[in-house]
Each structure stands twice: as C-alpha cells, then as structure tokens.
Structure 1
Amino acid sequence: MANHKPNYSGLLKHSKNKSKNVLNKVDDTIKRMIKNQLNINFNTVSLESGVSKAFLYKNMELRNRIDMLRQQQEGLSSPKQVKRNMSDASKDVIIASLRNRISNLEKENKQLKEQLKINFGQLYDEIQ
C-alpha cells in the first residue's frame, strides 16, 4: 500500500543543513580570498570552495556579495596589470642599468684574467 501522507520533514531538514554548510564553506572561502588578496569572481570562488557556479548565482545573498567584492576589486590593479602597464621609460631605465652592470662585470672579468696571467707567469718563473 502507498503512503498517502509521506513524511518529508527529515529530508527537508537535511537539505537545509546541507545548504547551510555550503553557505558557511563559501563564506570561509571568500574571507580567505580577501585575506590573501586573491581575485574574487564567480569562477574563482567556485573553484576555491568546490561549489558549483549555479549555486552561487542562484543564492541571491552570495551573488550580491560576490558582485560587490568584484566591483570593489576592479579599481585595484593586480600584479599582472602592473607589469603590463610598465612604461617605456621605466623599461629603458632597467635596460640601461643592466647594460651598465654587464660592462662593469666585463671589465672586472678582463682585470681578473690579466691578474691570472701575471700570477701564472710568476709561478712559471718560480718553477724554473
């Protein structure tokens, strides 16, 4: 015989607890990402927390929070953007300093080779 009045209360309670645990997991992930200054968007939160993007989009509280954090981070420049925005002038300065360093090292190398020749000559004279 079929049960005409099934009891779904246990199933609903389990579903609510599971959803609550996932919300806590996502909240902890977002806090950790903020602390570590990671880029926050739906993809990164989904990957870091192990929760589907669909869940993040469906939950309006999480959706609004991620959108707000993503908009706050738009003004901040990431290390990749800073590297891309490096001006030609700063690149020229770096190139000039590296060229200067190379020439100094080449001079030092030449002096050391000359000193080595002198030392070998003295050593050869002492042997004979």
Structure 2
Amino acid sequence: MTNYDRKEHLKAIHASRKATTSQKVDKAIQRLVRANDPINFNSVASEAGVAKATLYNNRELRERIESLRQQQAETPTPKQIKCELDENNKDAIIASLKRKIKKLEEEKKQLREQLKFAYADVYKQI
C-alpha cells in the first residue's frame, strides 16, 4: 500500500474549496458591479451562494468587499447627481414657471372677456 497522508489530503481539499469560494465571490462581485448594485456582505453572499461568515472570516475577501463598499459610498449615485442638478437649475425653473403663470393669467383674462361677449349675445337672443 502507498503512503496515504490524511493531513495532506485534507489540506488539499481545503485549498481547493477555498479557491472555488474565491472564484465564486469574484464572479459575484463582477456581476454586482456590472449591474450597478450595492456591494456589501449580504449582496455578495447571496449572489455567490456562500455564507456571510465565510466572507467575514476570509481576510482577503473581507478587505476587498469593505474597500469596494467604501468606494461605492464615496461616488455619488445618479439620484444624488439629479438632486444637485435640480438645485443648480432651481432659479431657471422658477423663472420659467413665473413666465408660464403670467401667460396663463393673460389667457384666462382673454377667455373671461370672450365669455362676457358670449353671455351678452345669449342675453340679446332671449
């Protein structure tokens, strides 16, 4: 019989599982980045199909997820950018709305005048 070293065999199994898990997590992070989804421990764990504890216990994976999460927190979201644009354009929007209100009030005034003439014509016919 050949020499069978149980410890070496278990180490090899552990290394292959660790490599497989790392590949799953890498692919999950890539999918999340492409989909522009938030990167955090919950989303990566569910996307990769691994336990959150695995992500927390593996130092390299944990640091990578934390750094990506921090990067996403620093970049403004499209909603934040839109809000900033709205704030910058606020004065222009207000001026435009004031012009529209003035135009509508003039139109309302003209319609009231036309209504007076229409009522006068109806009154004359009675």
User: For the superposition of Structure 1 and Structure 2, which TM-score range results when normalised by the shorter chain?
Assistant: 0.5 to 0.7
Tell me the equivalent position of 2:22: 23
**Is 1:13 matched up with 2:12?**
yes
C-alpha separation in 2, matches of 1:82 and 1:47: 29
Instruction: Report how far residue 78 of structure 1 moved.
Output: 4.0
- Residue 36 of structure 2 aligns to a residue whose secondary structure is coil
Partner-residue secondary structure (3-state), 1:73? helix
Whole-angstrom CA distance in 2 between matches of 1:46 and 1:21: 14
More helix by share: 2
Q: Residues of 2 paired with 1:72 and 1:28: CA distance?
A: 18
- What is the CA–CA distance in structure 1 between the aligned matches of 2:61 and 2:10, rounded to whole Å? 24
Instruction: Indicate yes or no: 2:93 matched with 1:62.
Output: no
Q: 1:44 to 1:84 in 2, by over 3 A?
A: farther
Identity of aligned residues (%): 38
Aligned length: 95
SS at match of 2:38: coil
Q: What's the CA shift for 1:7?
A: 2.9
Extract unaligned runs of 5+ from structure 1. Answer: 1-5, 101-128
Measured in 1, the distance between the counterparts of 2:50 and 2:72 equals 22
Question: Are 1:75 and 2:77 matched, yes or no?
Answer: no
Paired position in structure 1 for 2:52: 53
Distance in 2 between the 1:13 and 1:72 partners?
A: 35
Give the alignment's TM-score, normalised by structure 2: 0.57
Residues of 2 paired with 1:52 and 1:82: CA distance? 35
C-alpha separation in 2, matches of 1:50 and 1:81: 31
One-letter amino acid matched to 1:50: G
What are structure 2's unaligned runs of at least 5 residues? 101-126
Partner in structure 2 of residue 34 of structure 1: 33
C-alpha RMSD over aligned residues = 3.4
Measured in 1, the distance between the counterparts of 2:12 and 2:79 equals 46
